[in-house]
Structure 1
Amino acid sequence: MTTSPGPVPAGAEPVADAAVAAARPVSLSPSRASDFMQCPLLYRFRVIDRLPEKPSAAATRGTLVHAVLERLFDHPAEERTVPRAKSLVPGQWDRLLESKPELAELFAEDADGERLAGWLSEAEALVERWFTLEDPTRLEPVEREFFVEAELESGLRLRGIIDRVDVAPTGEVRIVDYKTGKAPRPEYAEGALFQMKFYALVVWRLKGVVPRRLQLVYLGSGEVLTYDPAMGDLERVERKLHALWEAIREATETGEWRPRPTKLCGWCDHQSVCPEFGGTPPAYPLMITPRGGEGGAPAGES
């Protein structure tokens, strides 16, 4: 299986051989941390091998809805209405297509445009539901689609993009994230909050302020999940991320990335190269350091 070199993903740096589309991790984001916790081999495929993945209609719809909600705040408060928000959907879809032409594959066999129309209507419905959960006429975000990056004392670099940051007149900070799916059951809420605690940690290390509230807005089910973190929470997250990063570093150096089969495997694009499905991963493209030894060569070349 071959891939062509492309832009280096966040959290990775290119290897010396430009002919190999591989990268060595240099930072950690919530998404990639979740990938590693879900399945180390999936992390390798996405960050190091940078294997291509097919566009997803659900994920793309989420990107579209996020863009609409971000752009709505460009308008004066009194113009932030349901009709105005829904009117932004077609234009934002056109912009998304312009920046990522490959998304047209999602509707390649939709000659009459019926599937696309239905998909856009679903996006509009999610946007409309947001108005039942928050009142945009009373919100003035300090940041939208806010890129944050902080380096911890250990040297671990954390980065991510926060959907929205609100700051109260008293200075209290609220971090908000939109989700186009349904809210998790209570027993899975902690996993859902991991991303938000990650962002809170980065903001704390950057600004010296612990966010007052973390808020997940689930447009799929019309629910809002909130959590008020304490400094101890963020310190525990920091320790967890350090342990996670050490595991990633060890796997990167040894080339030992183990698959972790779960029910989520059914949605994975990489079954053809996964041992759990009878596949063989590509030759490991980075230099490896055998345990107890020195140096090494890319796996499959020694």
Structure 2
Amino acid sequence: MAEGTTRTATVTPTAGGRGARRPALSPSRASDFKQCPLLYRFRAVDRLPEVPTKAQVRGTLVHSVLEKLFALPREERMPERAKDLLHPTWSELAEECPEWMDLFASGEGEDGADETGAAVGAWLETAGELVDAYFGLEDPRRLEPEACELHVETELSSGVLLRGYIDRIDVAPTGEIRVVDYKTGAAPRQIGEAKAMFQMKFYAVVLWRLRGVVPRQLKLMYLSDGQALAYTPDEPELVRFERTLEAIWQAILRAGKTGDFRPSPSKLCGWCSHQALCPSFGGTPPEYPGWPEPDPGEESALDRAD
């Protein structure tokens, strides 16, 4: 393990008996700040609502299905069984987030419910195609992951708290670790892969600091086109990346003190939900509410899905 100690994060009790977690850095929020500090502010500080796309919700659904697939006995991890999980899993997600059904609403009228049902059915078929694509990349009957959708959290010796969720961790009998992440979105490939690899190195640093072992492989599985990308990090690279994360967090803290989160226009602005509030597009951000406590680093299920 590289020089420096790693401390396990602690939870501070509150008067109400609930834990108030310290501000932390997650891969999604770190990526937001790198992309555009103002986007980070909108999401982590102002916590402005964002209407998800059908593709984002589909990613959440597929991730949930694959998590449930690995909870089944090996012999049941077949394509048909996985696709049987789609409808009940979607029902659970729609119950938890009923506003997601609005994405499929066809308006009022006698045929509105039927049209909505048809839209959901067609959308579920596209999710089924992604599940089928997964089976083209590996046979889950030959795997027994150590964990799926694992919450990880660790504090670096510098005091930066890292937090995130890992899609899947495989551990070989020899102790070698593989970190697996499923990708279902349609982001531009070059940009998407750069963001995805940033996320994977983040997880590699966290696991290295928690377990003292550098993951042997970081594997991205692109279900939309049936491609896989594998990468082998080394300790010096993770040391450098750790320093990058520390620098990002210090920059966030400096901006947090003053509220100076500046926009950084790029090609990705076309996918941003907050153009109306962005000075780069003639908008005005809301009044800065101050640095949030306790936790501006939390990721949503939609963040983790893609």
Q: Do the two structures share a fold, i.e. TM-score over 0.5? A: yes
Rounded Cα–Cα distance in structure 2 between residues aligned with 1:49 and 1:136? 41
Residue 249 of structure 2 is matched in structure 1 by 245
Give the one of 75, 79, 91 matched to 1:78: 75
Rounded Cα–Cα distance in structure 1 between residues aligned with 2:70 and 2:206? 24
Rounded Cα–Cα distance in structure 2 between residues aligned with 1:187 and 1:128? 25
**AA in 1 matched with 2:124:** L
CA displacement at 1:114 relative to structure 2: 2.1
- Answer whether contact 1:183 1:223 (CA < 8 A) is retained: no
Give the one of 132, 137, 146 matched to 2:136: 132
Query: Does residue 1:256 correspond to 2:260, yes or no?
Result: yes
Query: Does residue 1:56 correspond to 2:53, yes or no?
Result: yes
- CA RMSD, aligned part only? 2.1
Residue 204 of structure 1 is matched in structure 2 by 208
Residue 39 of structure 2 is matched in structure 1 by 42
**AA in 2 matched with 1:141:** P
CA displacement at 1:286 relative to structure 2: 1.1
Query: Does residue 1:149 correspond to 2:156, yes or no?
Result: no
**AA in 2 matched with 1:240:** T
Residue 95 of structure 1 is matched in structure 2 by 92
CA separation of 1:62 and 1:187: change in aligned 2, threshold 3 A: closer
Instruction: Give a deviation string over 1:234-289, Cα, whole Å, max 9, x none.
Output: 111101011111110111011111101112111211111111111110011117xx
**AA in 2 matched with 1:31:** S
Count residues with an aligned counterpart.
267
Moved over 6 A (4+): none
**AA in 1 matched with 2:196:** A
- Answer whether contact 2:56 2:185 (CA < 8 A) is retained: no
Structure 1 gap ranges (5+): 1-12, 14-23, 288-302
Secondary structure of residue in 2 paired with 1:73: helix
Structure 2 gap ranges (5+): 1-11, 13-20, 107-111, 292-306
**AA in 2 matched with 1:171:** G
Residue 117 of structure 1 is matched in structure 2 by 121
Query: Does residue 1:269 correspond to 2:278, yes or no?
Result: no
**AA in 2 matched with 1:99:** E
Rounded Cα–Cα distance in structure 1 between residues aligned with 2:159 and 2:229? 32
Rounded Cα–Cα distance in structure 2 between residues aligned with 1:228 and 1:218? 18
CA displacement at 1:189 relative to structure 2: 4.2
CA separation of 1:186 and 1:271: change in aligned 2, threshold 3 A: closer
- Answer whether contact 2:31 2:195 (CA < 8 A) is retained: no
CA displacement at 1:191 relative to structure 2: 3.9
**AA in 2 matched with 1:126:** L
Instruction: Give a deviation string over 1:120-175, Cα, whole Å, max 9, x none.
Output: 00000000110000110001010010000000011100010000000001110100
CA separation of 1:25 and 1:32: change in aligned 2, threshold 3 A: farther
Instruction: Give a deviation string over 1:210-237, Cα, whole Å, max 9, x none.
Output: 1111000000111000001100111111
- Answer whether contact 1:146 1:164 (CA < 8 A) is retained: yes
- Answer whether contact 1:162 1:177 (CA < 8 A) is retained: yes
Residue 280 of structure 1 is matched in structure 2 by 284
Rounded Cα–Cα distance in structure 2 between residues aligned with 1:185 and 1:92? 28
Rounded Cα–Cα distance in structure 2 between residues aligned with 1:212 and 1:82? 28
